[in-house]
Every structure is written in structure tokens, then in C-alpha cells.
């Protein structure tokens, strides 16, 4: 019994050890399995490239870079991303180790005991990778900090611009303030509160270099300190590429400028031209029978010369073949038994019919020679030939007025108040501005002018008709006075008075003997034809207004009254005219204009035996389509009712397709 007991006591440690070993194995196995499940689930929730920790480490062990390779590739994306992945795995392993340190260490020999050497190497690589990653972060942080420290900046050649806090900017600013080498701003200061591009900075530096060289060349070198010279030298080195580029561009620009100067027409004159192509025809019983479809043209070449930059001399040449349509409305209004030039009706006359050449045979004429120049607070206008009142007086008819050009209304009547067509030729005018704005009792401008149609004639060529007179004061003339009222930017008013003297056989609305003859530009025969044997005088009064409710709408209109006093019997009469228009600028496209204008052509009342007293109305519609900055196409229709002041006359219609080229 004692022997058995003794043997049992001897064997009991071994049994106890075996029992403990079996118990530990039985406990460790499920625990390790649970830990692996937790670890696998955690890894699956992350953006990991591996399915398990062991597989990832086994696959990557052979390609793990050394410390030297990681250091050499720290600036590449591959060298940065790879250590980060290994670090994430190492961190997950550490977390699991903290949770179950004792159990995990025990189970490692059982579960992962197949590759004990691999785990040992992995721990080394993990520790090594963590150290390398920290080193890289520190180095990147130090590099970022060094770029923000102004004291450590040694070169600005890598900057895309120059900030006010950069040493180069402050150095140049100091030089500018000391030597005044940049005076680009009105107060001559250098505004150092905004960033400059490197080329802007180089331009300023170049100006300072030129200024310092100028000081040295003028024996004022003592003003330039050695420190400033050293600063300039350093700035030159930092911005050598930009300085070379700028100087190359300046040299190229100077070469092009020299070429232009050697080939240009004039240093003071520029050419402004306009060419009009017009397809037009008249319709109606009488008008249709008298006209065929025609294709006409007119060209104006205006040489604009400036001697001071504030004055301008206009020398305009004109030619064309655009004869007016024959609507069958000419009348013997003065009763001399024949139809004179002054008795020709101007109803339906279009602006391109004003060619400056009465023969309409494409002969070139000088149709306007005038000079504008400021004189103190006023502006002086002097015309040697072809002057009209609308050259210097505001007509207050936007989008319709184009000074008989090809970008406004189709007809001369819709372009401006007929009062501006009384008189013309040579003379002068002054325009006094009283500042911006105005009111009903405070005009914004005063205009006075005097034009004589026979100012160049020292004596009457036609001795048989001495009543016409000649010269500046003895011949035909028209004196104008006008007050303009601007109520803000939306309303403009003009009150106009014109006193005229007209020799025998003149027309009232002839623009001073247009085309060398007394050809009317607006109105009926009855309102234009003055006495064929005696001179006449006229007093005309007009009002013009324009309202712009919005940028897309303009409303304008006029009214005029004309009192004609003849120096013979039955030569007195009165004439009236009025009209209004609506313009829609930028209609359909920027630069386009849709315009509708209607009113009464100038017509006469109180003329004994000169026909009926019916009112000749005109309605005009056009649409200017802007093809480009220099080309526009304008289709339009003109409708005349009671033409010739007679309701018995058939209505007349005019259709026009106008193309205008400006250059």
C-alpha cells in the first residue's frame, strides 16, 4: 500500500502537468479562434489589400524595402504608401496583443508555429517601418516650415508670383520709395499691398535699374549706396530670365512700331469710311409706274486729323450714284409756270440719296470740311464747306439719327427734326456746356451757330438775279440758337430757334443749297419752294425730346413750326412738321435695332392757289441687323399717305434693303 502510495506521489507531478497541459490546450484553442475572428472582421472593415494578417506578411516579406531604400524613395508615391500599409497591420497586431497578451503569446506557438522565423522578422520590419515613417513625417514637416520662413529664403526663382511679404518685393519697394523709379500711378507711389506676377515685378525692377543708371550717368552716383547696388545685383540674378524676356518683347515691339511708322499714311490722320449698297423700289399706282427696281451705292471717306489730341479736322470725300425715286409729287408751288429745282418734293428721300454729287455719276466731291477744337469751357466748330446744323447741335433722336449715314433711319425725315435742315454751308458755332445734368430751369448746354451757303462767293454770278446776294452776310444764311436740358441719364430735351434768309428761288429745307443747288431734303413741294423772284426770311421753332425708360427701349420725337415771310406779294406761308419714333436696341441680338417712326412730313398752310391742305403722313419701319462690328443689313418699308398734300393721290410704298460697311 505504501509502495503504491509512494509511486503515486512520484507520478502525480507528471499527471498533474499533463492534466494542466490538456486543459490549457483546450482553453487556448477556442480563445485563439475567437481572437482570429475578431481580427479578421476588423481587417475586413478597413480598405486592406490582404485577406488576413499572416497571408499579407508572408507575401510582402520578400519585397519589403530596406531602410536605405525607403529613405531613397520617400518622395515617390510607392515609397510612401507601402510603409503605411505595413504600419496599419502592425497597429492591428498590437491591439490584439494588448487585448489578450497572455493567451495570444501562448497560442502563437500552437497556431502560427509553422512559421516562427517569419513572425520574428515581421516584428523587426514593423518596428523598422514605424521608425522610417516617423522620420519621413518629420522631414516633410521641416521642409514645409522652411519655405514659410522669410529669413531662410535664398531664392525666389521657384515662385510663380511675388508676394508683398517676400524679401524681393520689399527690397524693390524700398528702392522705389528711395529713388522714385516707378511712377505708374497718379500719385507717383508704389502700391505694395498686392501680389505681382514675376513679369510685373521684372518690369518694375527694370524701371529701377534704368533710374539708378541714370543717376550714375548724371554724376549723382553718391546717391546710390553700395547696399542698394548689392540688392539690385541680387534681384537681377533672381529675375534674369524675366528681364531677358521682357527686353526681348520690348525690342520686338519697337521693331514693329518702327515698321508701322515707316509705312503709315500719317502720324496725325486716320481714315474712317462707309460704303452703302442699297436695293430699293417704289410701289403704288403712280409711284410704281414711275420707278423700276434699282441697285445703288454711296461711299464716304472721312480723313480725321488731330493736331493736339483734343481737336479734329474732318476732310470728307463722297461719291455715289443713288438718285432719288420719282414718286410723281413735284409741283409748281411758286407759280412761275415751271417746276424749278427748289420745287422738287423730298417726300420719301432716303439718306443714301444724299451723295454730295448732284449728277449721281460717281464723281468724287469734297462734301464736308470742318474743324472741331475746344476753346476754354466751350467747343468751337468751324466749317469751310458742307456744314449743317446737326454737326454741332444735338438732335435728340437716338438710334434714328446717323448724320445721313447708313446705320440709322432709312429716310432723312425720320433722322432728325426738319428744323436742322434749314440752311448750311460754311460758318462757325459754339457749344457751351454747363456741366452734367440739368433741369427745366437749368439748361445743360447752350449752342449758337451761323452757316452761310454762299460764303465763298465774292459777287453774284447770276447778274440777272441780284436778289440772291453773296458772301457770308449778304447771301443765304441760317442762324441757330438751342438750349439743351438733360434730366439725368434718361430724359433729354432741346428747344431750337433758327432764323434764315433765303434768296429768290431757294428751298426752305435745302441744307444750304445741297449738292450745289437748292434741292430740298425733306418736305413737300409746297413747304419748300420759296418765291422765284423775291427773297424771303423765315423764323422756325422746334422742340425735340428723347426718353429712355430702359436700356432696351428709346422713345423720341419732335415738332416744328416755320413762319415764312416773303418780300413779294402772296409769298407768306406757314409750315408744320412733327413725328415720333420707338427704337428697340439690341433687339434679337446685341447691336441690332428695331425702329418704327411716324409723323407728318413738312407741309405748308396758307399758300394761295398752291394745292390742297391735306397732311402728308409717313410711317417707316426698319430692322438693322448687325452682321459684325463693321457690317450691317437693314431691310425696311416706307409708307406715304396723302403724298403731295393731296388725299386724292395714291399712297406710295418704298421697299429698301440696305447694306452698310464701315471701316
Q: What pLDDT is stored for residue 267 in this prediction?
A: 75
Per the model's pLDDT, the better-predicted residue between 361 and 74 turns out to be: 361
Per the model's pLDDT, the better-predicted residue between 393 and 139 turns out to be: 393
Q: What does DSSP assign to residue 284?
A: S
Per the model's pLDDT, the better-predicted residue between 183 and 510 turns out to be: 510
Give 558-602 pLDDT, tens digit per residue: 999 999 998 887 789 999 999 999 999 999 999 999 999 999 999
Calculate mean pLDDT across residues 364-392: 96
If pLDDT is split at 50, 70 and 90, which confidence band does 191 have?
low
CA distance 417 to 482: 13
Q: What pLDDT is stored for residue 344 in this prediction?
A: 87
Lowest mean pLDDT across 138-142, 357-361, 388-392, 576-580 = 138-142
Per the model's pLDDT, the better-predicted residue between 575 and 340 turns out to be: 575
pLDDT at 556 over 90: yes
Three cell numbers at 503? 434768296
632 neighbors 626 (Cβ within 8 angstroms): yes
Q: What does DSSP assign to residue 511?
A: T
If pLDDT is split at 50, 70 and 90, which confidence band does 142 have?
very low
Map residue 394 onto helix, strand or coil.
Answer: coil
Q: What pLDDT is stored for residue 462 in this prediction?
A: 52
Closest Cα to residue 427, out of 500, 525, 530, 330?
A: 500
620 neighbors 410 (Cβ within 8 angstroms): yes
Q: What pLDDT is stored for residue 137 in this prediction?
A: 38
60 neighbors 86 (Cβ within 8 angstroms): yes
Calculate mean pLDDT across residues 385-399: 96
Side-chain half-sphere exposure of 421, counting CA atoms within 13 A:
30
| Residue 124: other Cβ atoms inside 10 A | 11
| CA-CA-CA-CA torsion sign (69, 70, 71, 77) | positive
Q: What pLDDT is stored for residue 382 in this prediction?
A: 98
CA distance 460 to 454: 9
If pLDDT is split at 50, 70 and 90, which confidence band does 541 have?
very high
Calculate mean pLDDT across residues 247-274: 81
Strand pairing of 161-162 and 425-433? unpaired
370 neighbors 639 (Cβ within 8 angstroms): no
Give the distance between the most distant pair of CA atoms in the chain.
Answer: 182
DSSP β-bridge partners for residue 383: 370, 427
If pLDDT is split at 50, 70 and 90, which confidence band does 437 have?
low
Report residue 93 CA to chain centroid gap.
68
Q: What does DSSP assign to residue 156?
A: -
Q: What pLDDT is stored for residue 636 in this prediction?
A: 98
pLDDT at 55 over 70: no
pLDDT at 622 over 50: yes
Per the model's pLDDT, the better-predicted residue between 661 and 331 turns out to be: 661
What does the angle CA 554 – CA 559 – CA 562 come to, to the nearest 5 degrees?
A: 155
Give 299-325 pLDDT, tens digit per residue: 999 999 999 999 999 999 999 999 999
Distances (CA, A) of 203 to 65, 181, 227: 51, 11, 21
Q: Which residues contact 67 (CB under 8 A, 6 or more apart)?
A: 128, 131, 132
| Residue 557: other Cβ atoms inside 10 A | 20
CA distance 405 to 412: 10
486 neighbors 498 (Cβ within 8 angstroms): no
CA distance 342 to 525: 8
Closest Cα to residue 312, out of 359, 385, 374?
A: 374
If pLDDT is split at 50, 70 and 90, which confidence band does 22 have?
very low
Lowest mean pLDDT across 145-159, 514-528, 590-604 = 145-159
Calculate mean pLDDT across residues 618-624: 98
Which backbone phi and psi does 290 adopt, to 5 degrees?
-85, -10
Closest Cα to residue 634, out of 646, 623, 645?
A: 623
Q: What pLDDT is stored for residue 518 in this prediction?
A: 76
Quote the mean pLDDT of the chain. Answer: 76
Q: What pLDDT is stored for residue 31 in this prediction?
A: 42
Q: What pLDDT is stored for residue 568 in this prediction?
A: 81
If pLDDT is split at 50, 70 and 90, which confidence band does 170 have?
confident
If pLDDT is split at 50, 70 and 90, which confidence band does 240 have?
confident
628 neighbors 652 (Cβ within 8 angstroms): no
Domains in the chain with CATH codes:
2-142 (no CATH), 161-263 (no CATH), 269-662 (2.40.160.10)
CA distance 614 to 107: 122
Closest Cα to residue 375, out of 296, 428, 443?
A: 428
Model pTM? 0.64
Q: What pLDDT is stored for residue 168 in this prediction?
A: 75
444 neighbors 486 (Cβ within 8 angstroms): yes
If pLDDT is split at 50, 70 and 90, which confidence band does 470 have?
confident
- Most confident option among 8-12, 227-231, 441-445: 227-231
Three cell numbers at 299? 461711299
Q: What is the percent of the chain where pLDDT is above 70?
A: 68
CA distance 537 to 568: 11
If pLDDT is split at 50, 70 and 90, which confidence band does 347 have?
very high
268 neighbors 293 (Cβ within 8 angstroms): no
Three cell numbers at 168? 524681393
What does the angle CA 527 – CA 411 – CA 595 come to, to the nearest 5 degrees?
A: 125
Q: What pLDDT is stored for residue 290 in this prediction?
A: 92
Map residue 69 onto helix, strand or coil.
Answer: helix
What does the angle CA 186 – CA 187 – CA 193 come to, to the nearest 5 degrees?
A: 100
Q: Which residues contact 604 (CB under 8 A, 6 or more apart)?
A: 333, 524, 526, 527, 573, 574, 575, 610, 645
Q: What does DSSP assign to residue 644?
A: G
Calculate mean pLDDT across residues 464-475: 70
pLDDT at 359 over 50: yes
Give 477-510 pLDDT, tens digit per residue: 999 999 999 888 899 999 999 999 998 888 999 9
pLDDT at 108 over 50: no
Calculate mean pLDDT across residues 375-385: 96
Calculate mean pLDDT across residues 233-237: 83
Q: Which residues contact 164 (CB under 8 A, 6 or more apart)?
A: 170, 192, 193, 194, 195
If pLDDT is split at 50, 70 and 90, which confidence band does 516 have?
low
Length of the chain: 663
Three cell numbers at 590? 446685341
Closest Cα to residue 108, out of 23, 29, 40, 51?
A: 29
Amino acid at each position: 500500500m505504501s509502495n503504491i502510495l509512494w509511486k503515486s506521489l512520484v507520478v502525480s507531478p507528471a499527471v498533474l502537468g499533463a492534466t494542466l497541459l490538456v486543459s490549457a490546450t483546450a482553453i487556448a484553442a477556442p480563445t485563439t479562434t475567437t481572437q482570429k475572428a475578431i481580427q479578421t472582421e476588423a481587417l475586413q472593415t478597413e480598405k486592406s489589400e490582404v485577406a488576413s494578417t499572416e497571408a499579407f506578411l508572408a507575401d510582402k516579406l520578400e519585397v519589403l524595402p530596406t531602410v536605405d531604400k525607403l529613405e531613397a524613395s520617400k518622395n515617390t508615391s510607392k515609397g510612401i504608401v507601402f510603409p503605411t500599409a505595413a504600419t496599419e497591420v502592425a497597429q492591428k497586431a498590437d491591439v490584439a496583443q494588448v487585448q489578450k497578451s497572455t493567451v495570444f503569446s501562448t497560442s502563437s506557438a500552437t497556431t502560427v508555429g509553422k512559421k516562427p522565423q517569419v513572425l520574428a522578422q515581421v516584428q523587426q520590419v514593423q518596428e523598422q517601418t514605424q521608425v522610417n515613417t516617423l522620420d519621413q513625417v518629420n522631414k516633410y514637416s521641416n521642409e514645409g516650415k522652411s519655405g514659410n520662413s522669410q529669413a531662410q529664403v535664398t531664392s525666389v526663382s521657384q515662385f510663380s508670383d511675388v508676394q508683398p511679404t517676400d524679401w524681393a518685393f520689399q527690397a524693390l519697394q524700398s528702392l522705389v520709395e528711395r529713388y522714385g523709379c516707378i511712377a505708374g500711378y497718379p500719385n507717383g507711389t508704389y502700391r505694395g499691398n498686392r501680389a505681382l506676377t514675376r513679369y510685373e515685378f521684372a518690369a518694375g525692377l527694370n524701371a529701377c535699374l534704368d533710374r539708378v543708371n541714370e543717376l550714375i550717368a548724371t554724376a549723382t552716383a553718391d546717391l546710390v549706396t553700395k547696399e542698394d547696388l548689392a540688392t539690385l545685383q541680387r534681384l537681377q540674378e533672381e529675375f534674369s530670365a524675366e528681364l531677358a524676356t521682357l527686353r526681348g518683347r520690348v525690342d520686338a515691339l519697337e521693331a514693329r512700331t518702327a515698321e508701322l511708322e515707316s509705312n503709315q499714311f500719317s502720324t496725325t490722320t486716320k481714315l474712317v469710311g462707309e460704303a452703302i449698297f442699297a436695293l430699293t423700289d417704289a410701289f403704288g399706282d403712280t409711284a410704281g409706274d414711275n420707278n423700276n427696281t434699282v441697285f445703288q451705292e454711296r461711299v464716304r471717306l472721312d480723313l480725321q486729323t488731330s493736331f493736339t489730341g483734343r481737336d479734329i479736322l474732318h476732310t470728307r470725300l463722297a461719291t455715289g450714284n443713288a438718285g432719288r425715286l420719282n414718286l410723281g409729287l413735284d409741283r409748281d408751288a411758286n407759280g412761275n409756270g415751271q417746276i424749278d429745282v427748289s420745287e422738287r418734293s423730298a417726300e420719301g428721300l432716303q439718306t443714301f440719296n444724299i451723295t454730295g454729287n448732284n449728277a449721281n455719276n460717281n464723281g468724287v466731291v469734297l462734301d464736308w470740311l470742318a474743324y472741331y477744337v475746344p476753346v476754354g469751357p466751350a467747343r468751337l466748330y468751324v466749317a469751310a464747306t458742307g456744314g449743317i446744323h446737326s454737326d454741332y447741335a444735338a438732335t435728340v433722336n437716338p438710334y434714328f439719327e446717323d448724320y445721313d449715314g447708313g446705320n440709322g433711319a432709312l429716310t432723312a425725315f425720320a433722322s432728325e427734326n426738319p428744323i436742322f435742315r434749314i440752311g448750311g454751308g460754311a460758318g462757325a458755332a459754339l457749344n457751351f456746356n454747363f456741366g452734367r445734368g440739368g433741369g427745366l430751369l437749368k439748361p445743360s448746354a447752350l449752342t449758337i451757330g451761323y452757316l452761310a451757303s454762299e460764303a465763298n462767293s465774292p459777287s453774284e454770278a447770276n447778274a440777272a438775279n441780284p436778289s440772291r446776294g453773296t458772301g457770308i452776310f449778304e447771301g443765304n444764311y441760317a442762324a441757330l440758337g438751342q438750349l439743351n436740358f438733360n434730366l439725368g441719364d434718361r430724359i433729354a430735351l432741346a428747344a431750337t430757334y433758327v432764323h434764315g434768309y433765303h434768296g429768290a428761288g431757294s428751298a426752305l429745307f435745302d441744307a444750304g443749297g445741297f449738292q450745289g443747288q437748292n434741292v430740298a431734303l425733306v418736305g413737300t413741294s409746297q413747304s419748300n419752294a420759296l418765291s422765284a423772284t423775291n427773297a424771303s426770311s423765315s423764323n422756325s421753332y422746334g422742340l425735340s425730346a428723347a426718353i429712355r425708360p430702359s436700356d432696351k427701349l428709346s422713345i423720341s420725337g419732335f415738332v416744328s413750326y416755320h413762319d415764312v415771310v416773303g418780300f413779294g406779294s402772296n409769298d407768306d406761308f406757314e409750315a408744320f412738321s412733327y413725328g415720333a419714333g420707338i427704337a428697340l436696341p439690341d433687339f434679337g441680338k446685341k447691336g441690332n435695332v428695331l425702329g418704327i417712326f411716324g409723323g407728318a412730313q413738312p407741309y405748308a398752310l396758307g399758300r394761295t392757289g398752291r394745292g390742297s391742305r391735306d397732311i402728308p403722313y409717313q410711317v417707316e419701319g426698319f430692322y438693322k441687323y448687325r452682321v459684325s462690328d463693321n457690317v450691317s443689313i437693314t431691310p425696311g418699308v416706307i409708307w406715304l399717305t396723302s403724298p403731295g398734300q393731296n388725299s386724292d393721290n395714291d399712297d406710295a410704298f418704298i421697299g429698301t434693303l440696305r447694306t452698310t460697311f464701315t471701316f
